[in-house]
Chains A and B, each alone.
Chain A
Amino acid sequence: DVKVTQSSRYLVKRTGEKVFLECVQDMDHENMFWYRQDPGLGLRLIYFSYDVKMKEKGDIPEGYSVSREKKERFSLILESASTNQTSMYLCASSLSWYRGRSYEQYFGPGTRLTVT
Chain B
Amino acid sequence: SQQGEEDPQALSIQEGENATMNCSYKTSINNLQWYRQNSGRGLVHLILIRSNEREKHSGRLRVTLDTSKKSSSLLITASRAADTASYFCATDRRRALTFGSGTRLQVQP
List residues of A whose CB falls within 8 A of some B CB.
4, 31, 33, 35, 40-43, 45, 48, 50, 56, 58-59, 88, 90, 92, 97, 100-110, 112
List residues of B whose CB falls within 8 A of some A CB.
1-2, 30-31, 33, 35, 40-45, 48, 50, 88, 90, 92, 95-102
Is the pair A56, B45 in contact by a Cβ cutoff of 8 Å?
no
| Contact among A33, A42, A105, A108 with B2 in the assembled complex (CB-CB below 8 Å) | A42
Is the pair A104, B33 in contact by a Cβ cutoff of 8 Å?
yes
Residues of B within 8 A of A4 (CB): 42
Is the pair A43, B88 in contact by a Cβ cutoff of 8 Å?
yes
Shortest Cβ distance from A6 into chain B, in angstroms? 8
Q: Which residue of A lies closest to B99 (CB)?
A: A43
Q: List 27 A-B contacts (CB under 8 A).
A: A40-B101, A41-B101, A42-B99, A43-B43, A43-B99, A45-B96, A45-B97, A45-B98, A58-B96, A90-B42, A100-B30, A100-B92, A101-B50, A101-B92, A102-B31, A102-B33, A102-B96, A104-B45, A104-B48, A105-B33, A105-B35, A105-B45, A105-B90, A107-B35, A108-B42, A110-B41, A110-B42
